[in-house]
Amino acid sequence: MLRDIQALRSKAAAHRKGSDYEKTLDRILGALRGRAAVIALLERTILFLEGMREWRLEQE
């Protein structure tokens, strides 16, 4: 999940949102764009953070 966000950030930061950027979007989000894509990324982030929290609690 974190690698996906970094990949999107890197491609968008290049200011050349060409085919490489679109390929990255397709790989990570499929057909989702705009608001739906943001919601999907946030849901994945929440799941990731909940998993990290559970892992941390198991370490205690």
Locate all alpha helices (DSSP H) within 1-60, ordered by sequence: 2-13, 19-29, 34-59
48 confidence band (pLDDT: 50, 70, 90) = very high
DSSP 1: -
CA–CA gap between residue 50 and residue 42 (Å, rounded) = 12
The number of distinct structural domains making up the chain is 1
Tokens 């390929």 belong to residue:
23
CB 53 within 8 Å of CB 32:
no
Q: What is the pLDDT of residues 8-43, one digit of tens each?
A: 888 887 656 677 888 888 999 999 999 999 999 999
Taking residues 4-11, what's their average pLDDT?
85
* 30 phi, psi to nearest 5 deg: 65, -130
58 confidence band (pLDDT: 50, 70, 90) = very high
Total residues found in the chain within this entry: 60
| Res. 53: pLDDT tops 70 | yes
Range of the domain at 20: 2-59
